[in-house]
Amino acid sequence: MYQVFLGKISSLSTDHWAEALSRHAPEGAQRARWLAGRGLLSRLLAPKPLPEIIYSEQGKPAFVGDYPLWFSMSQCEDDIALIISDEGNVGCSLELIRPQDNWRTLANAVFSNGEHIELENETSERQLDAFWRIWTRKEAIVKQRGAHSWQIVSVDSSASAAHAVSQCQVGSLSLAVCTATPFALTTDLIHAADDALAGKSPTRPE
């Protein structure tokens, strides 16, 4: 089972799910993102309380112990994406498709030969979209592995046999997931986080 959610940090971080976790949230710039992510996970797992979340040396979050679920989140400006799985480790990457002055330099630095071919096969008008499509796939693979961000250069997202990775575009957002088993992400499979499971009541953590 894989479930993918997409929502707004500004609303998820201020709803009653986030409020139930507010005393545990860090202060500062990351507070809203933390509340949005934890609040969404709480809503999905209710009525069970949210398990403790720990981080690997590379910063990959996971539920503590042998809890039989895996998840990955990604944030971009006011948008947050989450994939949750009972089939093994997952990675998620979300980027706004936007102008980037040095995107060709970045592509030359980190894209594989196969990724360059994919990029060059697009028309000039579509190459920026293709850059973000490839970039999010690479990031999702790195996050699924729990690797350091600088290892993106060693990832070839065009080698489809090596990774269960898929990507789709949602409006101006590029969303990619990397999964333990094959999963084809489409817009139809993305749930609106602000509406999902709205009838549940939050379980306030101890």
What is the per-residue pLDDT for 70? 97
Q: What percent of the chain has pLDDT over 70?
A: 94
Query: Where is pLDDT greater, at 112 or 59?
Result: 112
The residue among 150, 167, 147, 149 whose CA lies nearest residue 158 is 167
| Phi, psi dihedrals of residue 18, rounded to the nearest 5° | -65, -40
Say if CB 178 and CB 165 are below 8 A apart: yes
Helix axes 113-120, 127-145, angle to 10 degrees: 150
The matching CATH number, chosen from 3.40.50.150, 3.40.50.2300, 3.40.800.20, 3.90.470.20, for 2-192 is 3.90.470.20
Helix axes 103-110, 127-145, angle to 10 degrees: 50
Residue 204 binned pLDDT confidence (cut-offs 50, 70, 90): very low
* Mean pLDDT for the stretch of residues 17-21: 92
Q: What letter does residue 128 receive in the DSSP assignment?
A: H
Whole-prediction pTM value? 0.91
What is the per-residue pLDDT for 203? 41
Mean pLDDT of the chain, nearest integer: 91
The residue among 49, 43, 46, 36 whose CA lies nearest residue 8 is 36
**Could you tell me which residues come within 8 angstroms of residue 148 by beta carbon, excluding any fewer than 6 positions away?**
58, 142
The residue among 52, 12, 20, 19 whose CA lies nearest residue 36 is 12
* Mean pLDDT for the stretch of residues 130-140: 97
What is the per-residue pLDDT for 195? 67
Give me the half-sphere count of Cα atoms (radius 13 Å) on the Cβ side of residue 115: 23
Query: What's the rounded Cα separation, in Å, for the pair 75 and 62?
Result: 17
Pairing of strands 79-85, 190-192: unpaired
158-191 pLDDT, tens digit per residue, is 987 778 999 999 999 999 999 999 999 999 999 9
- Amino acid 204 reads R
65-121 pLDDT, tens digit per residue, is 889 999 999 999 999 999 999 999 999 999 999 998 899 999 999 999 999 999 999
For residue 136, how many other CB atoms are within 10 A of its CB?
A: 28
Measured CA to CA in angstroms, residue 76 lies from 99, 136, 143 at distances of 15, 12, 15
In this predicted structure, the answer to whether residue 59 has a pLDDT above a threshold of 90 is no
